[in-house]
Amino acid sequence: MSLSGLEGRRVIVCCGSGGVGKTTISAGIALALANRGARVAVVTIDPARRLAAALGLAELGDDPRQVPIGPTGGSGELWALQLDAKATFDRLVCRHAPTPEAAERILANRIYAHLSGAVAGSQEYMAVERLNELTDDPRFEVVVLDTPPAQNALDFLDAPTRITHFIEGKSLRMLLSPGAAAGNLGWRMLHAGSSTVFSILERVTGAQLLRDLSEFLGAFDGMYTGFSERAERVRTLLHSPRAAFVVVSSADDEPVREAVMLVERLTADGYPLGPAVMNRIRPRADLPPPPRHALVEALAGAGATHADDLADRTLAQLADDEARARRDHDACTRLARLLGDREPVQVPDFADEPVEIAGLEHVADALAR
């Protein structure tokens, strides 16, 4: 990519199927850009501590933390953080609730506790909110987003729509009563806190659930537009030339298939593509294997006891390595063809796991080559 495909972008999203190296490549891209003088934040949605491990840190939290790197081209800085959906949501509520009292009521509400902690999609939705915050943060010029291992790698792009629907209460109203969903009458009575209906239902259910629900929706009144607006802002940013999606793959069949599907979906949905990255590519040998007799002679000369046997095993290993390397190379060619002859960037399969800044420098170098 010579990184040229990525310079000047505000947001870079790394996606791809499970285990192909998204976290490693995200950290590598962030480091490469920081080395070139950019102030970069790399953020992971994955609650597993892979990003922290890749950067050689004991842990990462919601607060961006600066990672020491070598001398950079200018003012380059590398920062890292791990999404904390609940902390992000709490911050949002405090910032956007109409009054501090309303914020407090929302934070103390049990429905809220479930929504912010457990509702499917809230993690991804909060990632979108966090992106908004980070791209507004003057400390960072670039935000690199490491997406989690998801069934559908692009789930998080749908999250804003899903969650706004949820907050707008459609599903909650359905839950509340079928009549409420149909005619809205039952709902409005509850929402207004009609004490008779309320107390009867509460006695019947024996729970405070309904009061919580009513209060929750009441407290969110007036905040819906803010949520939708911010979701729209992120959607616009992610569709603009200031964003780039980097699809990461390994040479295995399934990840290549997934990468092609991702590229097709991103293109169809109008998202800007950055370079594709083929990770863990084994290099082709520079030289043909030595003739057997020469190898046996050399090994015997070096004092090997079973030179014949050793030579055979060495040649078998070399042939095996070459077959794998050829397969990786073919996968790159196939992906390039499927992507309309856009050559993917190749990152070698390193013998040592590319962790800590020293290890990630190798990834950054490969990406910049």
Ligand X SMILES: Nc1ncnc2c1ncn2[C@@H]1O[C@H](COP(=O)(O)OP(=O)(O)OP(=O)(O)O)[C@@H](O)[C@H]1O
Instruction: Tell me if 247 contacts ligand X by CB under 6 A.
Output: no
What is the full DSSP assignment across 190-240? Answer: HHTT-HHHHHHHHHHHTSSHHHHHHHHHHHHTTTHHHHHHHHHHHHHHHHS
Q: Which is nearer to ligand X, 32 or 347 (CB)?
A: 347
Instruction: Tell me if 353 contacts ligand X by CB under 6 A.
Output: yes
Residue 53 CB, shortest distance to Mg ion, in Å, is 10
Q: Which is nearer to ligand X, 132 or 279 (CB)?
A: 279
In one letter, which amino acid is 275? P
Q: Which is nearer to ligand X, 141 or 328 (CB)?
A: 328
Angle between the 209-220 and 110-117 helix axes, to the nearest 10 degrees?
Answer: 70
> Binding ligand X by CB under 6 A: which of 2, 8, 19, 330?
19
Query: In terms of Cα–Cα distance, which of 82, 86, 92 is closest to 147?
Result: 82
Q: Which residues contribute to the site for Mg ion (CB under 5 A)?
A: 22-23, 46, 50
Residue 45 CB, shortest distance to ligand X, in Å, is 9
- C-alpha separations of 251 from 81, 136, 266 in Å: 29, 37, 21
Instruction: Tell me if 164 contacts ligand X by CB under 6 A.
Output: no
Residue 3 phi, psi (nearest 5) = 55, -5
Q: In what order do the strands lie in the sheet with 65-67?
A: 65-67, 77-82, 39-44, 142-146, 11-15, 243-249, 277-281, 345-348
Angle between the 122-136 and 224-239 helix axes, to the nearest 10 degrees?
Answer: 70
Instruction: Tell me if 49 contacts ligand X by CB under 6 A.
Output: no
Site size toward ligand X (CB under 6 A) is: 18
Q: Are 69 and 357 in contact, with CB atoms under 8 Å apart? A: yes
* 265-284 residues near ligand X, rule: CB under 6 A: 279-280
Give the separation between CA 264 and CA 228, rounded to whole angstroms.
Answer: 27
> Binding ligand X by CB under 6 A: which of 354, 357, 364, 367?
354
Residue 251 CB, shortest distance to ligand X, in Å, is 11
Q: Write the interaction track for ligand X spanning residues 105-144; mark x where CB under 6 A is met and - where it is not.
A: ----------------------------------------
Instruction: Tell me if 84 contacts ligand X by CB under 6 A.
Output: no
- Residues of this chain that interact with ligand X (CB under 6 A) are 18-24, 46, 50, 149, 279-280, 347, 349-350, 353-355
